Amino acid sequence: MAFHARNLEVADISEELWGEMTQASNDSLRSVLTDWNNEINPQTTTTVPGKEIRALTINVTQICNLKCTYCAAGGDGTYGAAQTKISVEKTLPQLKYFLEKVADSGTFRIGFIGGEPLLYPDGIRAIANYVKLMTAGRNIRAQFSIVTNGTLLTDENIALLEEIKCNISVSIDGEAKYNDAARPMKNGQGSTAVVVEGLKKLFARKENFGSITLHGVFTAENMHVAEAYEFYRQFPADAYEFTYSVSDLNQEASDTFTREMRLIAAMAYAEGGETALRKISFFNRIFSALDEQRRTENFCGAGKSFLVVDARNNLFTCPWDVGNDAMKVGQGTEVFEGALEEYSSPLIEQNNCQSCWARFLCGGGCMYVHKEATGSKHQKNGQFCERTRSLVGTAILYFKKSRQTDIQEDSDYGKH
């Protein structure tokens, strides 16, 4: 098979053509491939973040009831500066400031994170109600999401999440023998049993939420990705998300994570074809981009369409920068002059990704991950690039397999 990096086209290559491609002197074939490479497909589009902030992630707390071994938020959810709860009185004017700058169309997204955000449900309710009030009658759809450790899924908190039709991501790294070791309570006891009980209540009312995702983080100490996938499948989640730790630079673990991700892709496809494979968030994202022929030039909208509000109402471009005063780009309703200027250019340009075949499906990679490895958010982390290219390649192979029956044969050298 072949892949057109710029047009996001997948081509099927006959065995005869593949054989000819091994002949370096085949001028006719080289000419055909050059012509294809130079083609511009007008149907291919590029996702360009708007120049207005359309998404805010809010640290409603900077405390947590767990002490995860790999926590990148200061080791205890505080980002090095504990804050029991955000000031709603300071946050509402901040929301007003950003919402008044938004054109009357599209979606405005609010994400609730911590620490553990469900330690302050009253703050979540007050913020959500205010956003709904501010967007009413403006043709703006307010969308809410939360990342929670799942230990506080009480009836009252579930009712709150129902009330705002929340998209819910529950962090759990697999079955108890792995999750309890990585995500213990602060008293040292395991958290898995409590999370599972909460999940059962959550899924019993599944139709009342936006979506439910199960999310695991994997480090050198826990590379049991396939076992986590098997564990997740007992729950009727909308999506499963598998993340390699943002601060783990272990090459062997990185390679193992890639192999495990390929394994769960094979498991999913064998069991349920494209539908099952696309429940894994990474593969769903690549399939969507290929189906829509939609190029991505930015791994995320940090500093472009997205900002973070910490529990002290400071502004950052990335959730992992919270607590680092040097990375602060604003305070309250003030965005520091020139602070967002460096984010104006596409990441694939700033990160020098122009020669990478996977650039329009990766978007330049995570700036925080790059900085953790190299000291600069625009100097690429080689391990991240290797993992991403490998998994993008896996996704393209399954995309081709899934779409094969829908593709009509092309007479040019067996290209489809």
Quick check: 250 pLDDT over 80?
A: yes
What letter represents residue 194's amino acid? V
- Give the model's pLDDT for residue 24: 61
According to the model, what pLDDT value does residue 405 have? Answer: 55
The mean pLDDT of 217-226, rounded to a whole number, is 97
Buried b (16+ CB within 10 A) or exposed e, 249-279: ebeebbebbbebbbebbebbbeeeebebbbb
Q: What is the pLDDT of residues 146-167, one digit of tens each?
A: 999 999 999 999 999 999 999 9
Q: Are strands 9-11 and 334-335 parallel, antiparallel or unpaired?
A: unpaired
- Cα separations (Å) of 399 from 13, 278, 299, 403? 15, 10, 21, 6
pLDDT in tens, 274-306: 999 999 999 999 999 999 999 999 999 999 999
Q: Does the pLDDT at position 50 exceed 90?
A: no
Cα separation of 309 and 85, whole Å? 12
| Alpha-carbon separation of residue 104 from 93, 138, 140, 150, 224 (angstroms) | 19, 5, 6, 35, 46
Q: Which residues partner with 143 through β-bridges?
A: 109
Q: Which domains does the chain have, with CATH numbers?
A: 46-296 (3.20.20.70)
373-393 pLDDT, tens digit per residue, is: 999 999 999 999 999 999 999
What's the mean pLDDT in 301-322?
A: 96
**Farthest-apart Cα atoms in the chain, separation:** 72
Neighbouring-strand partners of residue 56: 110, 307
pLDDT band at 32 (very low <50, low <70, confident <90, very high): confident
Q: pLDDT category, 1, cuts 50, 70, 90?
A: confident
- The highest-confidence range among 30-44, 65-79, 379-393, by mean pLDDT, is 379-393
Round the average pLDDT of the chain to a whole number and report it: 93
| Cα dihedral 307, 309, 315, 321 sign | negative
pTM score of the predicted model: 0.94
